[in-house]
Structure 1
Amino acid sequence: MGWIILIVVVVLIVALVLWGIGAYNGLVALRNRVKNGWAQIDVQLKQRADLIPNLVETVKGYAGHESQVLTQVTAARAGVVAAAQSGDVARRMQSENELSRALFNLQATAEAYPQLQANQNFMDLQGQLKELESKIAYARQFYNDVVLKYNTRIETVPTNIVAGMGHFEQAQYFQVDEAAREAPQVKF
């Protein structure tokens, strides 16, 4: 009878250890997917940042007196570059939201110039930007979906015990700030 109890206890301990290893490995895999999701967003954002100087120069040729809008875009892009170099994800997200608002203003400004709308270079750049914005939106959705799974796993019982012992921290969602939700007012 004593051997049976000992065997049951050993089996339970082994099962508990195996479950702990599986839970830890699952959390590591999700954390790595979160990092990968952010890296995918980063690639798209870098491409957008590289496209912006060409877009600004093209618009500047037709709408040079709209210097405030062009300055906003240039400053927002500089903020994105600085935030990317800092490695601070929250700062990067905020900078990207500011850049999105500035680009929206730039596109609204460009609509007032029919000759610019007919410029093939501008149309190509605008098409590339539109395509990149779609890719960024998809990458953000993927990233936020993975963050949801990861954060849920960290918070739910019983993996929250392993998450606490392994020092797993919640990931931040890539959210649009309140100012970006409002349509900017463009006045001429």
Structure 2
Amino acid sequence: MRSMSSRPSSTVSIGLRALLLALALTLLSGCGYNQIQSKDEATKAAWSEVLNQYKRRADLIPNLVNTVKGYAAQEKEVLIRVTEARAKVGQINVNAEDAASLAAFQKAQGDLSSALSRLMVVTENYPNLKSDQSFRDLQAQLEGTENRITVARGRYIASVQDYNTYIRQFPQNFTAKMFGHKEKPNFTVENERAISDAPTVDFGAAAPAPASTR
């Protein structure tokens, strides 16, 4: 008799739990929980693409430096600056969730961009280098990569802004606080210009005469 009477109670308990679970899911969805997860994943994907493009640039630099060295070994200081700037970028373990880490990463990338720009200016003094096909190919790849970096960085900035705006709005702000979702740091204005300026070479410009070795 007891086993028979416990069945309705067990059925009610299961039904109640299912109802509470459905209600919880509905409340979470209505409070933006699912959207927060989606936007969080979008920022992570956008950041991965930023790193991918920066790595592509770093991978091009050794070949570029070696090609320039073959024609302009005397530009030792400029070549060393590019190599050192690239090494510093590789030493940074960036955490996009940490503002200080992101700022350090941004500065290092800005320094590398500046060193590359200086290298490209120096190559104007060497007509034979500018006419070398391997150098021209590397330059085209570098310019393409700089453009991809700009696009990837822009998408990441927009993704973070979208995420931060969303979790600050009501009622998502309560959901975000409940589950520990905080605003993400973004690229700052500082060093942004240095990072954004892609190295360029005007192959049509008249090159200055090389300094006399006498």
Q: Does 1:21 align with 2:35?
A: no
Match of 1:128 in 2: 141
Which is further off, 113-122 or 169-178? 169-178
Of residues 102, 111, 116, the one that matches 2:124 is 111
SS in 1 for 2:160: helix
**Ranges in structure 1 where 5+ consecutive residues have no aligned partner:** 1-13
The separation in 1 between residues aligned to 2:178 and 2:196, in whole angstroms, is: 42
Of residues 50, 59, 63, the one that matches 1:54 is 63
Match of 1:94 in 2: 107
The separation in 2 between residues aligned to 1:105 and 1:176, in whole angstroms, is: 22
The structure whose residues are more often helix, as a share, is 1
Of residues 172, 183, 187, the one that matches 1:159 is 172
The separation in 1 between residues aligned to 2:135 and 2:24, in whole angstroms, is: 62
% identical equivalent positions: 38
**C-alpha displacement of 1:180:** 2.1
The separation in 1 between residues aligned to 2:45 and 2:196, in whole angstroms, is: 30
Instruction: In structure 1, give the amino acid aligned to 2:38.
Output: A
Partners of 2:40 and 2:163 within 8 A in 1:
yes
**C-alpha displacement of 1:177:** 2.8
Match of 1:141 in 2: 154
Of residues 29, 33, 40, the one that matches 1:31 is 40
Match of 1:79 in 2: 88
Of the two, which has the highest radius of gyration?
2
Partners of 2:109 and 2:195 within 8 A in 1:
no
Partners of 1:97 and 1:177 within 8 A in 2:
no
The separation in 1 between residues aligned to 2:165 and 2:183, in whole angstroms, is: 9
Q: Aligned-pair RMSD on alpha carbons?
A: 2.4
TM-score, with structure 2 as normaliser: 0.72
**Ranges in structure 2 where 5+ consecutive residues have no aligned partner:** 1-21, 97-101, 198-210
TM-score, with structure 1 as normaliser: 0.81
Of residues 180, 183, 188, the one that matches 2:194 is 180
SS in 2 for 1:168: coil
Aligned residues: 170
